Structure 1
Amino acid sequence: MKSFVMASLILSFFCLKTFGQSNHYWTRNYGSESMLLNGSVIGGVTDLGAVYYNPARLALTENPAFIISADVYELNSYKIEDAIGNRKDLTQSSFGGAPSLAAGTVDMKENSRSTFAYAILLRYNNDFGFSYRDEVTRNILPNVPGDELFEGELNVTNNLKDHWFGGSWAYTLKDNFSIGVSLFGSRAEASKGNVFDMTALDANSDISKYDYNRGYSFQSYGVLAKLGAAYSTGKMDLGMTITTPRAHLFGSGTYNYNLYFAAPDESGIEDIYANSYQSDLEINLKSPLSIGLGASYHIAKNKVIHFSGEYFGNVKSYSILEAAPHEMQSKPDSTIYFNLTDSRKSIANAGLGVEWFLSEKVSFYGGFSTDFNAAAENTVSFVTQEPTATNISFDANFYHVAGGVLLKFKGAEFTLGATHTSGKTDFDKPINFPTDNDPSIVDIANDGRMLWDRWQFIVSVSVPFLKDYVDKLEDKIF
């Protein structure tokens, strides 16, 4: 029983360490053209993705449009090669809609130097669940003679969402130079947990039971701002942005812990009864300062090359959530502590995109960008039962590739395309389930590999001058 508990903890530690994308900053892109250019548009964004990439560009965009980037479909695939020795690889896949951005502009006077826009976007979205169940007949309890009929099941959850909502203001200082600012409110929610349920029936028909459940959740409301500047010449568009750290305003968290164990006396293992359920815990959530630079160069009438880079500063270790110390009911002298922490290392990402205007109605796009991992080194997963743990994410680097076509019709634009992202990381094989040839459970001698693969399929609609069409329709009706 102890061996299987150890194995389950190691396996779950691996799962929680590698899934989640809060420590990757360029995983999602916004706006039809910007998605196909993989976000390399800080200098030359031309759609309402400017609310996120560079608000100053709103004042230099000739035809602001109403955008709904809701028709984005994602196919996510996870694979853990040789995760449990001779048994099999562990795989999971999911497919569904992935709304990313809804944005629009506010009408102003014809000669106004100001441009206003609004946006709602999904900054992070991760919903990964993992489970595994097996039943074997082995000598799990060494002090009890004979083999036991053993059933073990583990479940791991890892959920994260962060919605941004806000508005942008851009001001034209000169015909080719503008400044702007976007102010966003952020609503972030996260939950992680792991459950182990293990039962053994020995030759004397006695039952041993082990139940373990530890998890946390929180909601955080905060604000941040993005400042931008944009400059255009005949062949070059330049941009610069500064994104402030996230300021946490209010929120709360919960924490739960259960540990129950019962076994026959001859096993020599002490029974355990412990639980704690806590709510309304104080929380904090931070993000780094970032500085972005971008340039879009018109090498010909029908070709544009985009380049962008962004530097993200580090975030020193801090406490996200801390539970009140609690004692085991069966052992009052044993106190359990839990403090969830986070930290980020500084990184820089870069992207390259190409536009090719085949005609006034048809344009092709392609892009490539990096998405490096910002998780600090030497982190400890909370599932290890250590008193201090970190909010860990996938410790691999991602690379994004995109391509598609923009079709322009009278009164509307349609974008069709796809993006692909993949990442992989090495790990020590956490467990080796017992077989006839190998009765051991834990085996860390051989390496395994974790792979994450994502496809996004884009069907986006942009409607220029939507207000004018609505006004004309009202005139016809009334």
Structure 2
Amino acid sequence: MLRYFYLILVFHISVAVGQEGNYKFENFGNQSVLLNGNVTGSVSDLGLTYYNPARLGLIENPSFTVGGKAFQWSLYDFNNVLESNRSLSSNKFGGLPATIAGTFDLKQFPGHKFAYSILSRQRSEVDLGFDSGLREDLDEEDAILATEQLADVYFKDRVRDDWFGLTWAYPISETLSVGASVFASIYSNDGRGDILLNARTEEDQVITYVNRVDYRQRTYGAQIRLGAAWTLSKVEMGVNVSLPLIAVYKKASFRFKESLSSTAPGNGFITDFNNDDLENRRKTALGIAYGIGYPWKNHTLHFNLDWHASVGAYDRITIPDDALEDLEENPFKEELRPVLNFGMGGEFYVSPSINVIGSFSTDFSASKRSINLFDFVNQSTDEINLIDDLWHFAAGLDLHRPWGNIIVGTSYARSQITVGTAPRIPEESLSVQPRNISTDISYERWRFIIGIEIPIITEKIQGVPIPIK
């Protein structure tokens, strides 16, 4: 029966969880975005609330940002699907939420500096679908199993992780500062996969296979980042420590429906599991970043190292034993390996009115094992993540004007992997030996950034308790 069954298993991958294993997938702040986050020791915009809160204590007048906007075009491309020389793709274009941040003072704490920020730490939504239509022109291999067949597949995965933070910094001296950011994290992950397969046999019998998986996970908690920043012989340095998530509220639901009408009596089945109150966990890794900002003539070079610890294997959502009898194993398992990323960037002086910004950064995937809704029907030994190791590149201009700065630029990221699979058709349907089939999967992303900063406004609105960025 089903060459399309193999195709379906390739699509049912938890894309968003793969993204969670890429720690530099998102960046924040105008210059910091174009510098690909290589600013732990030298961040100068209010992206410091994320990259290094201690830097707030060394910056006298953080720029007041009137507006910043980013647009993204992304492409998921499946090449040579199942070694068939066929390609499938899904692309999207749209706007991205801007970072909101500002500074304020508290009279009760003279000398201390404070900021607030709202960050979209993760935001991903992927829709993939495939409708084969009724196929009668089957090749010899398919014809052994069926004279007609159709396949209809739909997959959707959505992740949101919004951070609402307060930042504190205290300059111990003119060259040394410490700080901390505390973020309230509101995390949600929703996934759904649908399979409908039909085939007519040579005996004029119809086999129908239906599979639906639907899950939701909500985790609210706190993310704490601790920083130190100092200056030595005009070289700026800094360390930022990201502590693991402290979960406060956790809720998950899972539904699994599967049915098979078979040509052989007694081989059909119906399964339905639904639970809206499952035990769940979400873990994030300890991270330590170190950065240097090195002045060279009229230019500034930025260097960064970013390390994240491993996270041992655990169940993101706990499935009851009675349901595991049908699923065979829990598909909600996660395990993260340790990773070390590096990158560098530069702000290059061209004239008093123009700086050129350029950067690159690695973004190695930490996902050793991530949620795959269909592990229980897939015998592949590969770890499948749609987003794997990435390289990020960015370039842009910082245009100085009498009234402020305009920052424009673009960033590019790409990943490519080959996945070999050995899927298993349900035993109750047809006895077909698994085949090793490979598919090339690539991901591309372009982002276009525009931001405006007007430092002079800061002086005019000092009387406002909490300025808006």
- Whole-angstrom CA distance in 2 between matches of 1:427 and 1:49: 37
After TM superposition, the structure 1 stretch with the greater mean CA deviation from structure 2, 238-247 or 128-137, is 128-137
Question: Do 2:189 and 2:216's aligned partners in 1 also have CA atoms closer than 8 Å?
Answer: yes
Residues 1:233 and 1:208: Cα distance change in structure 2 (over 3 Å): same
Q: Does 1:318 align with 2:314?
A: yes
The counterpart of 1:80, out of the listed 78, 81, 87, is 78
Aligned length: 452
The residue aligned with 1:464 is 455
Residues 1:281 and 1:103: Cα distance change in structure 2 (over 3 Å): same
Residues 1:429 and 1:392: Cα distance change in structure 2 (over 3 Å): closer
Identity %: 24
The residue correspondences of 1:220-259 to structure 2 (distance < 5 A) are 220-259=219-258
Residues 1:101 and 1:334: Cα distance change in structure 2 (over 3 Å): closer
Q: Does 1:288 align with 2:280?
A: no
Q: Does 1:39 align with 2:31?
A: no
| Residue deviations 1:368-402 (CA, integer Å, cap 9, x gap) | 1110110116x683312269999974462101111
Q: Does 1:412 align with 2:404?
A: yes
Which letter does structure 1 place at the counterpart of 2:179?
A: G
| Residue deviations 1:51-75 (CA, integer Å, cap 9, x gap) | 1111111111122123366511011
Residues 1:17 and 1:388: Cα distance change in structure 2 (over 3 Å): farther
The residue aligned with 2:428 is none
Question: Do 2:218 and 2:252's aligned partners in 1 also have CA atoms closer than 8 Å?
Answer: yes
Which letter does structure 2 place at the counterpart of 1:323?
A: I
| Residue deviations 1:247-305 (CA, integer Å, cap 9, x gap) | 111120110111122244xx4562211111110212111111111111111111x1111
State the SS of the aligned residue for 2:50. helix
- Whole-angstrom CA distance in 1 between matches of 2:121 and 2:258: 36
User: How far did residue 100 of structure 1 move?
Assistant: 4.2
- Whole-angstrom CA distance in 2 between matches of 1:219 and 1:229: 32
Residues 1:228 and 1:104: Cα distance change in structure 2 (over 3 Å): same
User: How far did residue 347 of structure 1 move?
Assistant: 0.8
- Whole-angstrom CA distance in 2 between matches of 1:406 and 1:169: 28
The residue aligned with 2:6 is 7
The residue correspondences of 1:394-405 to structure 2 (distance < 5 A) are 394=386, 396-405=388-397
State the SS of the aligned residue for 1:421. strand
- Whole-angstrom CA distance in 1 between matches of 2:286 and 2:193: 33
Residues 1:119 and 1:20: Cα distance change in structure 2 (over 3 Å): same
Residues 1:469 and 1:289: Cα distance change in structure 2 (over 3 Å): same
Q: What is the TM-score when the length of structure 1 is the normalising length?
A: 0.85
Which letter does structure 2 place at the counterpart of 1:121?
A: L
Q: What is the TM-score when the length of structure 2 is the normalising length?
A: 0.87
Residues 1:77 and 1:430: Cα distance change in structure 2 (over 3 Å): farther
The counterpart of 1:346, out of the listed 334, 338, 353, is 338
Which letter does structure 2 place at the counterpart of 1:385?
A: F
Which letter does structure 2 place at the counterpart of 1:166?
A: G
Residues 1:148 and 1:342: Cα distance change in structure 2 (over 3 Å): same
State the SS of the aligned residue for 1:34. helix
After TM superposition, the structure 1 stretch with the greater mean CA deviation from structure 2, 71-80 or 353-362, is 353-362
The residue aligned with 1:422 is 414
| Residue deviations 1:332-370 (CA, integer Å, cap 9, x gap) | x96866362211111111110111122333211110111
Question: Do 2:300 and 2:347's aligned partners in 1 also have CA atoms closer than 8 Å?
Answer: yes
User: How far did residue 244 of structure 1 move?
Assistant: 0.7
The residue correspondences of 1:18-57 to structure 2 (distance < 5 A) are 20-57=18-55
User: How far did residue 171 of structure 1 move?
Assistant: 0.4
The counterpart of 2:57, out of the listed 52, 56, 59, is 59
- Whole-angstrom CA distance in 2 between matches of 1:145 and 1:156: 29
Question: Do 1:74 and 1:454's aligned partners in 2 also have CA atoms closer than 8 Å?
Answer: yes
* Structure 1 unaligned blocks of 5 or more: 432-439, 474-478
The residue aligned with 2:427 is none
Q: Does 1:91 align with 2:89?
A: yes
User: How far did residue 225 of structure 1 move?
Assistant: 0.8
Residues 1:81 and 1:221: Cα distance change in structure 2 (over 3 Å): same
Residues 1:115 and 1:327: Cα distance change in structure 2 (over 3 Å): closer
The counterpart of 1:366, out of the listed 338, 358, 363, is 358
